Structure 1
Amino acid sequence: MDLHYTEEEMAVREEVRVFVRDNLPEDIRTKVMSHQRIEKSDYVRWHRILTAHGWGAPSWPKEWGGTGWNHVQRMLFEIEIYSAGAPRQLPFGLTMIGPVLMKYASEEMKARFLPRIPAVDDFWCQGYSEPGAGSDLASLKTKAVRVGDKYIVNGQKTWTTMGHHADWIFCLVRTNAEAKPQEGISMLLIPMTTPGVTVRPINTLDHGYEVNETWFENVEVPVENLVGEENKGWTYAKYLLGHERTAIAGIGHCHRELRHLKRYAAESKDGRGRRMIDNPRMRDKIAKVERDLAVLEMMVLRVATQSEGQPGPEASIIKIRGSELQQDIAMLQQEVAGPHSRPFDQAWLKKGATIPVAGPQWAAGGTATYLDMRKTSIYGGSTEVQKNIINKMIIGF
């Protein structure tokens, strides 16, 4: 593959750089750069700014409001907006259910849901994992029984990220208990306001509230909210996971956090009073993650260009390396922060009114980021599951 960017690709990069500089609200930029918590309103506001400019769905085809950019242009877009301090674009609609609907949904369903995703007119969440079916989704037990023109849904989902904000959930349910596990699953789109849907918070290691338990008790869902065909949900689930795992690589996030890391290392001093960046061992560690990021970029581009929009088992390699790299960078940030890395303050993470501990401002939120990054090797399918996929589908053992 050609590793040089074309003039057209570089033009997109410069256009994005200028746009973000001039249009990203400063209060959102400050939160992101300070590792503070981003609110729902911040995400929605930024999505709508991008959508008004025609960039609300950078990976989508033009017919559904996308940009028509190639894979390289989309990656450069991601790098530039993240590096400038923009929050991530919410993946649940854009890179999860959106591509599934484009490929498998009826024209009526596409027209109903797709136009509302880029500007977050509908906020989506994912209903995959269950207490006994995390990475082993084929073991899911949430049941949907068809009664006339409705499905009656009963069961529980867990780790429902941002479910407390969501308007809709795309949900895997078992519609045939007699079939083989993978063959009896369907995908339903369920309004979160439907009677019988209950969302309960799960407090995470960083004292945050981002994930939830979601309960379904005799929830009535119209048959027209079935995606594609009944009992074909496993096919749709795998297609969605391929897109999710590629997105988990977090190229833009890594670029921004690597830039933070270099700045932190230039500002912080070790026990001898030397700048951390002047320590040869620290320079070696930073050089390693910078090298790994360059390799990951090339890997993402290679898989994207060869898959023609439908990521295969190679997405598992990207998922593993992206997860590891995000964790490596966060760990190095903690190492550079030294004694300032341990404590963090909830008031700071939410509002940033005061710096809670002595030391650099970035260290306060950095600990929460480090803790949050621990989960990247689990969600979207654990690292162990990804290695099994690679072993079976690529190596052939």
Structure 2
Amino acid sequence: MLHPVAPRRFAPLGALILLALAGCASPTAPAPDPTADTHGEIAGAAELAEPALGLTSIDAAGRVSHLDLLEESTAELGTVRAPAAVHSDGRYLFSMDAEGLSIVDSGVWTWDHVDHFHYYRAEARVLGDVAGEGVATVATSNSSTTGGTGVFFPDSGEAVLLDTEALSKGDIVERFRLERAIGAGLVVPAGSFAAIASGDEITLHTADGDEVGDATPCVDPAGTITTRVGAVIGCRDGAVLVSVADEQPVVEVVPYPAGATAPRASAFANREGRPSVAAVAGDAGVWVLDTRERTWTLLPTPEPVVQASAVDDKDANLLALTPDGRVLVLDGETGALRAASAPLVGASLGAGQPVSLIADQQRAYLNGPAEGRMWEIDFADGARVAREFSPATAPLFFAETGR
């Protein structure tokens, strides 16, 4: 069982550059590393007055499309291998299959300057492939132009850290590829470092793969997300939070409340970058992890849910998806029902097809592969369907990009 431990700090590594955990979350094209001085300016990219939000989707055959949410126009970006899973950081889409992964750059991104934002558009394209064995797990930070992107291949046990700055220039560069035990695992970027969760422990590494500090116990690692506070890794008895302070990694264990019997969290979601994250707790409701306060809260839900995402706004909205395909708007402090949509993706869920509920500051987005639709939902207005889209090919996987 995991127990709280005091934060552990390791000696600074002077050659490494500390990456802002609250970086940008979205796409770019060939470009220099954006900094607070350049405000994310990229050579060849156009700066925009507002975010170029879009829905980038991949169908069952691997065709990649981008729907511009402002103009409601669609562009075809190319083709990847038929996807088994897709992960996105809000800019790139990482399409995984048994032979490795393919990387799509949606070409739109936001640079988070803490007190304000800068928005850009550049070339959208399929960047290329990373070879590996088994359907990988991918973990990203809040910056799509700096730091690393973690990839773990379960059938070979290979832990890979990609150079995200190189991706922003259109290049696929591996910072390290290390061998671990075959099976489930994670490579999670945190500032200038990366945490590898494999077996029953988490080890910390520099961007070049060198191990630093002591290992941290983590039985059955599953699920990860990065907030403004740090990178979360789910474990059987709680979570491990990895952050960076004064160019040093800090590891903290956040155990479940004493006596908790609800199923563990294994998939986290939130409005990008916010400190609170949500995860389904089986039939018991929803776990909410506040990474700022280092606390778990179990919220009972009015009915079973299969997905949950913390909007973490001033109204403490929490979104959830029911087995029959309705979107629930819940009180993020009590779990009480505020609103519910009509059933939207019941056929997809019933057929076991991948459905994703994505929240941003004002809207939520949902895909229905079986229904051949995508929806924009105004969760603050009674879970009203604001727009419904009918793409030319069914969106098996999708992501909101440009945010």
Higher helix share: 1
Q: TM-score, normalised to structure 1's length?
A: 0.25
Higher share in strand: 2
Max Rg structure: 1
Q: TM-score, normalised by structure 2?
A: 0.25
